[in-house]
Structure 1
Amino acid sequence: MSEAKQVETHGFQTEVKQLLQLMIHSLYSNKEIFLRELVSNAADAADKLRFKALSDNDLYENDGDLRVRVSCDKENRTVTISDNGIGMNHDDVVEHLGTIAKSGTAEFFSQLSGDQAADSQLIGQFGVGFYSAFIVADKVTVRTRKAGDAASEGVEWVSEGEGEFTTAKIEKANRGTDIILHLREDESEFADDWRLKSIVTKYSDHISVSVEMLTPEVPAVEAVAEVKDDEGNVTTPAVEAQDAIPAKWEAVNKATALWTREKADVSDDEYKEFYKHVSHDFADPLLWEHNKVEGKTEYTSLLYVPSKAPFDMYNREKQHGLKLYVQRVFIMDDAEQFMPTYLRFVKGLLDSNDLPLNVSREILQDNKVTQAIRKGCTKRVLKMLEKLGKKDAEKYQGFWDEFGQVLKEGPAEDFANKEQVAGLLRFASTHEDSSVQNVSLASYIERMKEGQEKIYYVVADSFEAAKNSPHLEVFRKKGIEVLLMSDRIDEWLVSHLTEFDGKQLQSVTRGGLDLGDMDDAESKEAQEKLEQEFDSVVKRIKETLAGKAKDVKLSQRLTDSPACIVADEHDMSSQMAKLMASVGQEVPETLPIFEINGEHALVKHVADEQDDEQFKQWVEVLFEQAMLAERGSLKDPASFVTRLNKLMLSLTK
């Protein structure tokens, strides 16, 4: 580098160092993707210039023919990717080529295991972009100038992919960016025109910007006269003189926007590669839908469902959305107005004919065209998932395992499509002895017992806690299926999803248990007899638990456990209280209802206890046991342990 340059040295962000090392080792088996990533970035730069030039045509600098050029130098073992797009200034270079400005970066690195195959999938979800250059290069030089800046404002960035990079101001006549890869000695295969061309046609055929490569130079040919032998046979054909044909740039991709083509003319492989272009994911999509809408609102949508969840999917504040084009002109990335938040995993693009070219995020927010497109795209995705669920249960299960918890946000967020979203939900249940969430509400209803009018469920902190909840005992006895919910969002879900297909959802931990026609006369008669027998005991327990329990009842739901607590019909459940507390919300104090099992030996022992102090101790222990089973913790666990120890000692005397 010339001494005349004022060179600045910068240290890479810590995460960049980690990413570079991981990439070089984890992505080595798929190293040709470096060209896909760099060409994709170059095409994006061209798209961004086209958008900026809508309001300032001077940015084209009398060169409106946007393109990407790929070339190589075998002798010097270099590959160069050039574009005449938006370009970068000094601050852009430091920001984009020295840091990773992604939320959840620390969480991403914490998920890396050291297993190269698994980590390569994660790195693919993270999106490596520019840094993929270091998969094949031991040094990268970037020369760039932002459109509209003076030629003297060019910037050169150089790094060997270790701990630092340098920047320097340079003279650059043309706007845009040149990326020069200095290939490692064992990567010289990429310094070959045919190799590069095969990669471009494989990965970048769909890009709407022209990707050009140099055709070989054809040397001049001198004129040769026709020569015949003695018998008149031509021994040397006549050749006309031809001038040399210099090497020239020619497009090696189709350079037409893939979404504008007819579906029948686009192969599955092309759809898959286009997905990787718009999402920067390495894995193939799970499914996609390409649709052209005509009529009152005209637009084309190409929507993809990924096969793997991104590492930051649960960050609702992260920018998400679709790429927006207006009349084939790129407008913005992450246009979130066209997809509800619970479908934030959907990738793809929209191309509208009905929005203005100078549309902004603010204009999109309350625009009637936006609302119509959002409604149409949401329906399209839900139908796509509905079809998958009916057609391929195994593939849908794979989708659910990745995105199910996000989809559970739907009923609260999207009232218009609540029933359709509910039909896509899956849960674990007592029907199968497994934590796998594969039971739909529709399949639950199909298996309902004769006389059953409600969909029963239990929400707990874990699958094991839900599965072993004492509230399930009578349901197991009667063979009634109960949905087992243990995701953090489940209590929020059922507070908004109160019925499905005309059937009410009923928590087994709330209010009085009414099994309706499923409760036989014999059971009702036995319950009434037991209530009379325990009437005085119940009153005595109420007095003991005054200020701690709202009410005390003889339980209909217990068969094996001595006691449980339930929430009153209109009170907040313990799970909802935990959820609110976890996000810093003030939780109103509510007292539970205490239910006892009159058939249990321990309860009968307590009922026969005449000593008031011993009776009180037993009741307190039973109550706190029930609180512990339901809520997972006690306000004063030390007192509970002391009380329990005293009772155990008393039994040994």
Structure 2
Amino acid sequence: MAQHKFQVHLRGIIDLLSEHLYSGPEVYIRELLQNAVDAITARQQYEPAMRGEIVIECHSPSTGRPPTLSIRDNGIGLTLEEVHHFLATIGRSSKTSDNWTQPADFLGQFGIGILSCFIVSEEIVVLTRSARNPTAAPVEWRARADGSYTVRELERDLPVGTQVWLTARQDKERWLTAEEVRRLVLHYGSLLPVPLHFHAGRVQEILNTQTPPWRKHYATPAQRHKALLAYGRETFGISFLDAVLLSSEVDGLDGVAYILPFTPPLSARHKGHRIYLKNMFLSETADNLLPEWAFFVRVILNATTLRPTASRESFFEDENLARTRTLIGERLRRYLVNLAEQQPEKLEQFVQLHHRALKALAAEDDNFCAMILDHLPFETSLGTMTFGEYRQNYAIVRYVADVDTFRQLANVAAAQNLCLLNAGYAYDLDLISRIPELFPDLSLEEINSDTLTQEFDELTVEEQADCESFTLQAEKILRPFRCRADIKKFQPEDLPALYSISREGRFQRQVEHTRALSNTLWSSVLDGLVQRDIVQAGTLCFNFRNPLIRRLLSLRSPQRRQRFIEILYVQALLLGHHPLNAREWQLFNQGLLHLLDDLLNS
């Protein structure tokens, strides 16, 4: 059986890189800088005293021709054989071969970085001379996006190292302009230890001259803290609340976490960072680097032990990444503990801005929960208060497990001077469930609309007799909706009726509502969840103290009273944020039409 080798369609590979692997054309600068730094690192293994440098030159012809770019390094260089072996073989990288004794020192690993240059240029020209083989002739490698390339040895002399030339494609000129190249070099290489010389016309400058403050020594911690905040303000354009050092030589980590002076939106919790790998900018997102609860920070972080993905825009999930994530979490946790113990005023300011993050951390850390719970705010029926304030006034923690039920009951409970705690938001229920362990003198009581109505005042025997016919009529009207009728006295007086439902009943209503809106297949799936044996899912409790209810009790026309009962039922559903089914909407519309007819005919 004959064996065949795969053929590579280079244009298809380039489209794959530009459309799916890389975030944009600008990554070609990162890949060129990466190759240059790795080449210098390789040469320094042979010549430790050698000082590396990278020169970026932008050429903008005035004749209407496209701009060109060259990047030159004084690194290890390549021989003719190595050019064939590495540059012309997709997926083969010199940095992972047996040529180097310390592949972990290198940025590149996958052997595809040079291909990113085809996103902005139809041709790549590489001029290179080897430092390991001084007698080898300089080599020129010309590659085109159609998959063809030429290699030749040069008779003229070249300095040791490598120079890459690019000419902008017709639709990519902006990426090779001097302004854009300078911006991208600073963006990706500002922390690189190798000097980045930038030349454009008469402009000549070294771009990465600034040493970040977490790598400097200061006379006092206050001076360092001031410098960190100034650097954060310059980098992000934000006056941060505080700064936390994240450096750890053992774990190959250095950088700083900045405490945001505002509550970030959910969509931006993992964005806006500056993440570096071996001093090369990697990404602005940190979705798998920071703990889930650490959405109150913007970080500038450089890692040396983590593995990048092929796109070099995130980290590979492994033990090293998990250990780094734990280390960052420990540093931030320690910072919060220090605030609680030494700077209570700053902690109070922090809690006002980032209490959700603190709740997320407390939900997974029992010790931190015990320390911070008293400081955390909760929504209650009597207004927002910290848990410490709540437990000073109440021996029983009465809570509502979901937001909609709390909104329905808050005003009613407040009118009864009953303080209900809203546990429907993220992490709140987890924290409340730990209260008996942390505070043995407190007890928990879950409140729903059913249990709250038990707190209402009962009618006298005479009042029950006056309401008997009304209650019987309401029971008959509400029975098709699996709802019973009741009448009690409660506050506030301006609320005519309160609809209460058990947790199972609420779930059934939601299932039936979703089934009515779904297609046939999904509806048949939901049909199996419907419990048709539930006779009474909810209760409509009328308020005897309400003036409208008192008028209805004296209304002699059963037909008119029916219309008001139907409308009050639907109104109570809406106040409780319960989804209405088609029958209930029809009931509401018909009730309004009948009332309008009565008004016009009176």
1:441 alignment counterpart: 386
Task: Please give the secondary structure, in 2, of the residue aligned with 1:603.
Answer: helix
2:500 alignment counterpart: 566
Kept after mapping to 2: 8 A contact 1:58/1:148: no
Kept after mapping to 1: 8 A contact 2:36/2:72: no
Alignment of 1:386-405 (within 5 A): 390-391=345-346, 397=352, 399-400=353-354
In structure 1, distance between residues paired with 2:28 and 2:339: 31
Deviations 1:584-642 (A, max 9, x none): 99686793332211112322333445655444433222111111222275323343122
**Structure 1 residue 364 displacement after superposition:** 2.6
User: How many residues in Structure 1 have an aligned counterpart in Structure 2?
Assistant: 484
1:597 alignment counterpart: 543
Unaligned runs of 5+ in 1: 1-9, 14-18, 20-37, 99-140, 157-167, 185-190, 216-247, 433-438
Residue 454 of structure 1, aligned match among 398, 414, 418? 398
Matched, 1:273 2:231: yes
Partner amino acid, structure 2, of 1:376 = E
In structure 2, distance between residues paired with 1:90 and 1:631: 58
In structure 1, distance between residues paired with 2:56 and 2:39: 24
Cα distance 1:594–1:442, how it changes in 2: closer, same or farther (>3 A)? same
Partner amino acid, structure 1, of 2:267 = Y
Matched, 1:541 2:435: no
In structure 1, distance between residues paired with 2:486 and 2:550: 15
Kept after mapping to 1: 8 A contact 2:239/2:261: yes
Deviations 1:174-218 (A, max 9, x none): 25688864579xxxxxx9xxxx9xx99xx9998242335599xxx
Matched, 1:253 2:209: yes
**Structure 1 residue 67 displacement after superposition:** 4.5
Matched, 1:643 2:591: yes
Cα distance 1:210–1:575, how it changes in 2: closer, same or farther (>3 A)? farther
Partner amino acid, structure 2, of 1:561 = L
Normalised to the residue count of structure 1, the TM-score between the two structures is 0.52
**Structure 1 residue 303 displacement after superposition:** 2.0
1:209 alignment counterpart: 193
Kept after mapping to 2: 8 A contact 1:338/1:371: yes
Alignment of 1:196-595 (within 5 A): 207-212=191-196, 253=209, 258-259=214-215, 264=221, 266=224, 268-270=226-228, 272-273=230-231, 281-291=236-246, 302-307=256-261, 313-314=266-267, 323=275, 336-344=287-295, 346-348=297-299, 361-364=316-319, 369-370=323-324, 372-373=326-327, 375-377=329-331, 379-380=333-334, 383=337, 390-391=345-346, 397=352, 399-400=353-354, 426=377, 439-442=384-387, 444-445=389-390, 449=393, 453-454=397-398, 459-460=403-404, 471-479=409-417, 491=425, 493-494=427-428, 496-499=430-433, 502=439, 510-513=449-452, 534=467, 537-538=470-471, 540-555=473-488, 556=490, 558-568=492-502, 572=506, 591-595=537-541
**Structure 1 residue 561 displacement after superposition:** 1.0
Kept after mapping to 2: 8 A contact 1:210/1:254: no
2:574 alignment counterpart: 628
Cα distance 1:90–1:70, how it changes in 2: closer, same or farther (>3 A)? closer
2:12 alignment counterpart: none
Deviations 1:379-400 (A, max 9, x none): 2465588688842756765x45
Partner amino acid, structure 1, of 2:487 = L
In structure 2, distance between residues paired with 1:366 and 1:155: 38
In structure 1, distance between residues paired with 2:28 and 2:224: 23
Task: Please give the secondary structure, in 1, of the residue aligned with 2:598.
Answer: helix
In structure 1, distance between residues paired with 2:239 and 2:513: 36
**Structure 1 residue 89 displacement after superposition:** 5.9
Deviations 1:560-597 (A, max 9, x none): 11112123256547999899999999686793332211
In structure 2, distance between residues paired with 1:381 and 1:606: 62
Normalised to the residue count of structure 2, the TM-score between the two structures is 0.55
Matched, 1:92 2:40: no
Cα distance 1:496–1:351, how it changes in 2: closer, same or farther (>3 A)? same
Partner amino acid, structure 2, of 1:562 = P
In structure 1, distance between residues paired with 2:212 and 2:60: 31
Kept after mapping to 1: 8 A contact 2:56/2:70: yes
**Structure 1 residue 525 displacement after superposition:** 7.0
Task: Please give the secondary structure, in 2, of the residue aligned with 1:268.
Answer: helix
Residue 174 of structure 1, aligned match among 162, 181, 197? 162
In structure 2, distance between residues paired with 1:69 and 1:146: 14
Greater alpha carbon shift after TM alignment, 65-74 vs 473-482:
65-74
2:154 alignment counterpart: none
Cα distance 1:612–1:640, how it changes in 2: closer, same or farther (>3 A)? same
**Structure 1 residue 545 displacement after superposition:** 1.4
**Structure 1 residue 645 displacement after superposition:** 2.6
Task: Please give the secondary structure, in 2, of the residue aligned with 1:210.
Answer: coil
Matched, 1:606 2:552: yes
Deviations 1:78-125 (A, max 9, x none): 999957586986752465x69xxxxxxxxxxxxxxxxxxxxxxxxxxx
Cα distance 1:644–1:342, how it changes in 2: closer, same or farther (>3 A)? same
Kept after mapping to 1: 8 A contact 2:487/2:541: yes
**Structure 1 residue 650 displacement after superposition:** 3.4
**Structure 1 residue 482 displacement after superposition:** 5.9
Unaligned runs of 5+ in 2: 1-14, 19-23, 74-106, 131-138, 152-157, 167-174, 310-314
